[in-house]
Amino acid sequence: MTDTLSLSSLTPPVRDAIRGALLSWFRAGHRDLPWRRSADPYRVWVAEIMLQQTRTETVREYFDRFLARFPDVAALAAAPLDDVLALWSGLGYYGRARNLHAAAREIVARYGGRFPQDAEAVAALPGVGPYTAGAIRSIALRQRAALVDGNVARVLARLFALPLRPQEADGRRALWQLAEELVPEAPEAADADNDPGDFNQALMELGATVCLPQQPRCLLCPVSEVCLARRQGDPERYPPPRPPRQVPEVDRVTLLLCQGGQVLLLRRLPAGLWGGLWEPPTGEVDPRGPHQALQRLCQEQLGAQLPVERAQPLSPFVHLLTHRRMRFQPYRLEVAAVPPLHPQGEYDQLRWLDPSRPAALGMSAWVSGLLGRLHTPRRVCDAERTT
């Protein structure tokens, strides 16, 4: 093999050498992850959705709890969305949970609860993109299907010394093409050597445990012999770093309306960021000042007038998302009685919650954190009545 290997020079012998080395290495030992203990499509699907943008160690906890509560697609389809979001709380990217739930209902309604086998049907399920479709088809259905996630993109870019950014369309296309050429045919016999699912998992495992973003462990790598980046002596050059992005900042006011030791929570409409989750009424800031912002919030989201001029500011905090930086200014307003409240605008339901007794509700991490600040000690919801 020469240092001029490129996509077009991926010859059958090179391809077979990579497949053989990776499959042998993976089968000789790999991490024992709960979702690898069975090729049940439901388990593979749930795990792959959870693993998007989320660390493996975090997913471990959530996966076991989720499978205990929803052991199969029928159980997930039968559950209210609120229950699904409650179990997803803190995992982030809540659109994944909403799509998982919608797809489970579709699988039950259209396919009698059996995971579809057809490539187009798998790809058409809500929330199933090319990566997840590749994982389900190759690992659970044993079909020849490629996948590229961040780990795989890094391994492929280094193996072939490709200066391609997986975040850009050209890079993504070339890496997918490479992955499609490399993934082996589905075997005829169940115990045959080639296996697209094992091969894809081997690529992901290599990226997660050996071909690390910094300081790759090339001495332990089963494909180091054919790796161009290693030969060039500086594997970390690949893939090139993503250019720095400007993350927009967004300011929000949030109202902790307290009555009798309880705090008001509203449920967001099902779509969009945090859709279907519970939070204190939250809205845009107003250039005229915080009281105007709170007044508008009460009118537009609760259909009510409240004595917001008595609201007390609490410490502001920041919640980071991948695509924006959210700055929250919370206010606490203690009232003895409230007029009738009508969730509207961005919300569709309300409930009062004792913050010292967390309920099984879907909440984003910033809401759990804010409520956690409320209940120790009972100061925030009760303080004003004692002064």
Question: What is residue 171's three-state secondary structure?
Answer: helix
CA dihedral for 186, 189, 194, 195, sign (positive or negative): positive
Q: How many CA within 13 A on the CB side of residue 214?
A: 0
- What's the closest the beta carbon of residue 53 comes to ligand SF4, in angstroms? 22
- What's the closest the beta carbon of residue 216 comes to ligand SF4, in angstroms? 4
Strand 312-313 with 262-268, pairing:
unpaired
Residue 151 sits in the site that holds ligand SF4 (CB under 6 A)? no
Q: Which is nearer to ligand SF4, 155 or 208 (CB)?
A: 155
Residue 178 sits in the site that holds ligand SF4 (CB under 6 A)? no
Question: What is residue 353's three-state secondary structure?
Answer: strand
Q: Of 46, 87, 229, 380, which one interacts with ligand SF4 (CB under 6 A)?
A: 229
Q: Of 184, 235, 283, 330, which one interacts with ligand SF4 (CB under 6 A)?
A: 235
Between CA 207 and CA 18 the distance in angstroms is 14
Q: What spatial distance separates the first Cα and last Cα of the chain, rounded to whole Å?
A: 80
Q: How many residues bind ligand SF4 (CB under 6 A)?
A: 15
Residue 210 sits in the site that holds ligand SF4 (CB under 6 A)? yes
Site map (CB under 6 A) of ligand SF4, residues 152-171, x = contact:
---x--xx------------
Between CA 230 and CA 216 the distance in angstroms is 9
Residue 257 sits in the site that holds ligand SF4 (CB under 6 A)? no
Known active-site residue 309 = no
- Tokens for 318? 């920041």
Q: Which is nearer to ligand SF4, 218 or 250 (CB)?
A: 218
Length of the chain in terms of residues written = 387
Q: Which is nearer to ligand SF4, 159 or 361 (CB)?
A: 159
- What's the closest the beta carbon of residue 19 comes to ligand SF4, in angstroms? 14
Secondary structure tally for the chain: helices H, strands E:
15, 8
Q: How crowded is residue 36: how many other Cβ atoms within 10 Å of its Cβ?
A: 15
Binding site for ligand SF4 (CB under 6 A): 155, 158-159, 210-211, 216-218, 221, 223-224, 227, 229-230, 235
Q: Active-site positions?
A: 48
